[in-house]
Amino acid sequence: MSNLADRVVKLQKQMRKTQIESLIVPLGVNFRYIFGLMEEPSERLLVGIIGTEDSPKLLVPSFEVDRMKKLTGITNCFGWKETQDPYRILQELISVDQGKTIAIEPKMWYSVYQKIFKKLPEKRFISAEILFDPMRAVKDEDEQKLLLNASQKSGDAIVETLNELEVGISEAQVKAILKEKLLLGSGEKSGALVQFGSNSSLPHYSGGDRRLQKNDVVLIDAGGTLQNYWGDITITTVFGKASRRFKEIFDIVHTANEQGKETVIKNKVPSEIDATTRDYITSKGYGDFFTHRTGHGIGLEVHEHPYIVKNNRVPLVPGNAFTIEPGIYLPGKFGVRIEDNVIKTETGIKTSQIPRYELLEV
């Protein structure tokens, strides 16, 4: 729990710097980041409250008090009964803190925000993005290990699934096999895209009933989690014999991927990394077919800061974790995407170790 306590201290320091007196965090990703517990919010109000100086508080349904103390280690836990108005109790807890500005979790349900606002009309509310986004974008050593293990788990699951391909199997069937391998009985979250043939030319197409044929392109994008931290890997291959055109496109995308990672090592900003992959693909005549950004941050969410995109000139720092995933998508024919997970370090990068050319054909 020590790293969680450190996060509270860092949050409070940033709150004082930005003149934020209170922070309200409902269940969700940022609650997990601060209190170590990942659960979805419900109609019963359950929030964490952090002031600039005192210990964090939890406001929870009374029957949840003991459970929440045990799971979060937070002893300053206030329970509300079913016959009480929890927003009235929240009002009292917040009013103890002198000051006007309250930061609100940006993904808080609007209905919850409305009720809080009505109880505290004299307060100024702002988004807590300015607190959480910079902190979460820099992963500590424990987070980096989880991310790299999650990316390896994701890549291994794809490779194992490729071994089960056979003529006539559907995208949906392969997706079910893949998701089972991603879970491994852990109960963690996972996500997967399985696309055969011309469907691979549709970025983020979820797949369906198309059945595998000999010499089909197979694109699999999969993410598994470890302690809620995501991996996100894409492997593109051919079930059978790869055409000369596929090998050409594969080689271009693979080189763009490698150049993107090399640009990270050279301490370039995200816009320059995006330009490196995009310019190379354009130089080969396929710029119009690279239709998305080069990458996105990864952590407790599969998409988070920093984004590797044309208009992001914020310098990367050690601990930033993100994907490098250039692609070329030829409408009605096939697509190739090669996606790795990257963590910037003081001297270079840590990255996923996924076979590529070894899987050009399966």
Taking the C-alpha atoms of residue 146 and residue 2, their distance in angstroms, rounded to an integer, is 17
Contact criterion met (CB below 8 Å) for 203 and 291? yes
**Residues 6 or more apart whose Cβ sits within 8 Å of residue 319:** 137, 138, 139, 140, 144, 343, 344
Residues of the chain by 3-state class (helix, strand, coil), percent to 5: 40, 25, 35
Contact criterion met (CB below 8 Å) for 348 and 318? no
Helix (H, G, I), strand (E, B) or coil at 48: strand
Angle at 114 between CA 112 and CA 115, to 5 degrees: 70
Contact criterion met (CB below 8 Å) for 155 and 352? yes
Range(s) within the chain of domains with CATH label 3.90.230.10: 141-359
Tell me what pLDDT residue 191 has: 92
pTM, 2 dp = 0.94
Kindly tell me if the per-residue pLDDT of 1 is higher than 50.
no
> What does DSSP assign to residue 79?
E
DSSP H or E segment with residue 17:
helix 2-17
Kindly tell me if the per-residue pLDDT of 53 is higher than 90.
no
**Mean local confidence (pLDDT), 48-72:** 96
Taking the C-alpha atoms of residue 191 and residue 302, their distance in angstroms, rounded to an integer, is 9
Taking the domain 2-136, which CATH number applies?
Answer: 3.40.350.10
Edge-to-edge strands, sheet with 340-344: 304-308, 295-297, 321-324, 340-344, 349-351
Strands (DSSP E) contained in 190-326 are: 190-196, 216-226, 229-230, 233-239, 295-297, 304-308, 321-324
**Residues 6 or more apart whose Cβ sits within 8 Å of residue 219:** 193, 194, 195, 199, 200, 234, 235, 236, 335, 336, 337
Question: What is the per-residue pLDDT across 119-152, written as a single tens digit (0 to 9) for each?
Answer: 999 899 999 999 999 999 999 999 999 999 999 9
Q: Which of 74-83, 95-104, 216-225, 259-268 has the lowest mean pLDDT?
A: 95-104
Residue 243: how many other CB atoms lie within 10 Å: 14
Question: What is the per-residue pLDDT across 311-355, written as a single tens digit (0 to 9) for each?
Answer: 999 999 999 999 999 999 999 999 999 999 999 999 999 998 999
What average pLDDT is seen over the chain?
A: 95
104: which 2 tokens? 């609100």
Tell me what pLDDT residue 184 has: 64
Kindly tell me if the per-residue pLDDT of 98 is higher than 60.
no
Contact criterion met (CB below 8 Å) for 88 and 119? yes
What's the distance, Cα to Cα, between the start and end of the chain in Å?
45
Burial 311-340 (b: 16+ CB within 10 A, else e): ebeeebeebbbbbbbbbbbbeebbbbbbbb
**Mean local confidence (pLDDT), 297-308:** 97
Taking the domain 141-359, which CATH number applies?
Answer: 3.90.230.10
Range(s) within the chain of domains with CATH label 3.40.350.10: 2-136
Question: What is the per-residue pLDDT across 167-181, written as a single tens digit (0 to 9) for each?
Answer: 999 999 999 999 999
Taking the C-alpha atoms of residue 332 and residue 18, their distance in angstroms, rounded to an integer, is 51
